[in-house]
């Protein structure tokens, strides 16, 4: 076994976190039990590039129970929980390469360390692992059965790669499952982003103007939860349909230049770059707090902010004060990286339960179908999505109705209309 973690002595604290998270991951536990008896991944090496959290720990333990040899690295330099990484290496036999706050060179060294293990299955979050394979390790591609992809940003990147005709193996876009994006992206991002902002600032949100950039599933969740905390929520969008949806949800919709003038908080969740740019810094109020919960740290133009600043200092952990030439101060959380994982612990286990059940089934789907799957981004079959939702309902003790034979027939026919 190999690993590179911050401090292996942190393992006991990490183990407790992993066990605590497991209590809220009953669907994944059902998958693990099944994998343990069938061991479908026997003889398979799996390389995963995911946020190294207590929830991810439960996923990789599940895959190992299914017979896989697992190599894990971080999908973001700031998202690793060092105690969890230590416990995975010490207590669970996972080859883990991840250190919170690692520099870019170490981040890519760790990505290459898991690829050195010569995996057949790849599990990605943001597509850095798949991108590294395509850009710098083409010789290895023939051995890869396929990849899974966790996030909206990764799916968009991989669809662009497929469209260019250069995607070299099939991908399952886990993000496309309803039991992933409707829960993880919406309720998970909604809660964990506020958690990150509050931990980094300890500010009251009630009565504050909170700008949410982007009204996708993540933005919807964040806007909804910020409103729940009593903030006046403003949404910025580039998509007319989503902007209209935000308006009819009762949010104020503005271009960023207008929103930036009145914001106490701005959080980007767009998946795009320079969403907060130089012209926006120029009009911001003194004391504005800005953060990002999109996958990459490209959404806030930090180089431009640095240029405008005469002084930069740490105000609090994961909260940097940028003092501009005119004396205004702007606060940047978690270095503009994912604030929910940088200054908090990511989405709660209960939603990651379904995301990671999807990841587990996606890995098995690749194993069973890779020989016939087209080299494009696939969605898991609906019956898997429904099975995950049913298992979650069962674990929550929620019963639902079933169609009567008469109702089933009615839905399948066209003859019956107005009585």
- Distances from the Cα of 83 to the Cα of 77, 90, 98, 318, 348, angstroms: 15, 10, 11, 18, 17
Pick the closer one to ligand ADE by CB: 280 or 347: 347
From residue 170 to residue 209, what is the string marking binding to ligand ADE with x (rule CB under 6 A)?
------------------x---x-----------------
Pick the closer one to ligand ADE by CB: 83 or 264: 83
Instruction: List 289's β-bridge partners, or say none.
Output: 265, 331
Q: Which residue is nearest to ligand ADE (CB)?
A: 346
From residue 319 to residue 358, what is the string marking binding to ligand ADE with x (rule CB under 6 A)?
----------------------x----xx----x------
Pick the closer one to ligand ADE by CB: 51 or 199: 51
Query: Considering only residues 53, 76, 87, 360, which one is a binding residue for ligand ADE as defined by CB under 6 A?
Result: 53
SS (H, E, C) 272-331: CCCCECHHHHHHCCCCCEEEECCCCCCCECHHHHHHHEEEEEEEECCEEEEEECCCCEEE
End-to-end CA distance of the chain: 69
Q: Which stretch binds ligand ADE (CB under 6 A): 48-56, 287-295, 306-314, 382-390?
A: 48-56
Pick the closer one to ligand ADE by CB: 193 or 301: 193
Q: Is 295 in the site for ligand ADE (CB under 6 A)?
A: no
Contact call for residues 151 and 125 (beta carbons, < 8 A): yes
Cα separation, 91 vs 85, whole angstroms: 10
Instruction: Report the nearest approach of ligand ADE to the CB of residue 90 (Å).
Output: 20
Assign 403 to helix, strand or coil.
coil
Instruction: Name residues contacting ligand ADE, limited to 54-93 (CB under 6 A).
Output: 55-56
Query: Considering only residues 10, 18, 45, 51, which one is a binding residue for ligand ADE as defined by CB under 6 A?
Result: 51
Contact call for residues 160 and 388 (beta carbons, < 8 A): no
Pick the closer one to ligand ADE by CB: 18 or 246: 18
Residue environment code for 264-293, b if the CB has 16+ CB neighbours within 10 A, otherwise e: bbbbbbbbeeebbbeebbeebeeebbbbbb
From residue 133 to residue 172, what is the string marking binding to ligand ADE with x (rule CB under 6 A)?
----------------------------------------
Nearest C-alpha neighbor of 55 from the set 80, 33, 30: 80
Radius of gyration of the chain (CA): 22
Q: Which stretch binds ligand ADE (CB under 6 A): 5-13, 49-57, 216-224, 394-402?
A: 49-57
Residues contributing to the site for ligand ADE (CB under 6 A): 50-51, 53, 55-56, 188, 192, 341, 346-347, 352
């Amino acid at each position: 076994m190999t690993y590179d973690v911050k401090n292996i002595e942190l393992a006991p604290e990490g183990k407790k976190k992993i066990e605590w998270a497991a209590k809220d991951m009953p669907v994944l536990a059902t998958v693990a039990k099944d994998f343990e008896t069938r061991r479908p991944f026997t003889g398979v090496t799996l390389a995963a590039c995911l946020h190294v959290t207590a929830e991810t720990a439960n996923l990789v333990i599940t895959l190992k129970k299914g017979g896989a040899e697992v190599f894990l690295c971080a999908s973001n330099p700031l998202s690793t929980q060092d105690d969890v990484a230590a416990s995975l290496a010490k207590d669970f036999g996972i080859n883990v390469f991840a250190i919170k706050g690692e520099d870019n060179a170490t981040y890519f060294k760790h990505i290459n360390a898991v690829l050195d293990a010569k995996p057949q299955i790849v599990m990605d979050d943001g597509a850095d692992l798949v991108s590294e394979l395509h850009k710098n390790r083409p010789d290895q591609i023939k051995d890869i059965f396929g990849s899974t992809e966790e996030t909206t940003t990764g799916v968009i990147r991989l669809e662009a790669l497929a469209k260019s005709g250069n995607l070299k193996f099939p991908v399952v876009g886990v993000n496309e499952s309803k039991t992933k994006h409707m829960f993880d992206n919406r309720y998970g991002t909604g809660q964990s982003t506020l958690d990150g902002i509050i931990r980094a600032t300890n500010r009251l949100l009630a009565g504050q103007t909170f700008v949410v950039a982007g009204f996708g599933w993540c933005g919807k969740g964040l806007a909804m939860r910020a409103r729940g905390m009593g903030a006046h929520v403003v949404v910025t969008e580039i998509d007319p349909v989503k902007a209209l949806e935000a308006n009819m949800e009762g949010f104020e919709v503005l271009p960023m230049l207008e929103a930036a003038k009145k914001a106490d908080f701005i959080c980007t969740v767009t998946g795009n770059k320079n969403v907060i740019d130089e012209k926006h810094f120029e009009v911001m109020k003194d004391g504005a707090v800005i953060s990002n919960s999109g996958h990459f740290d490209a959404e806030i133009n930090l180089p431009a902010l640095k240029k405008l600043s005469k002084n930069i200092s740490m105000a609090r952990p994961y909260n940097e004060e940028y003092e501009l030439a005119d004396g205004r101060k702007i606060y940047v959380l978690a270095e503009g990286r994912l604030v929910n994982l940088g200054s908090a612990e990511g989405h709660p286990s209960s939603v990651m339960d379904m995301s990671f059940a999807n990841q587990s089934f996606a890995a098995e789907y690749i194993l069973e179908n890779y020989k016939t799957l087209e080299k494009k981004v696939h969605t898991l079959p609906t019956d898997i999505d429904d099975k995950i939702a049913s298992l979650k309902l069962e674990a929550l003790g929620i019963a639902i109705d079933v169609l009567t034979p008469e109702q089933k027939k009615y839905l399948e026919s066209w003859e019956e209309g107005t009585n």
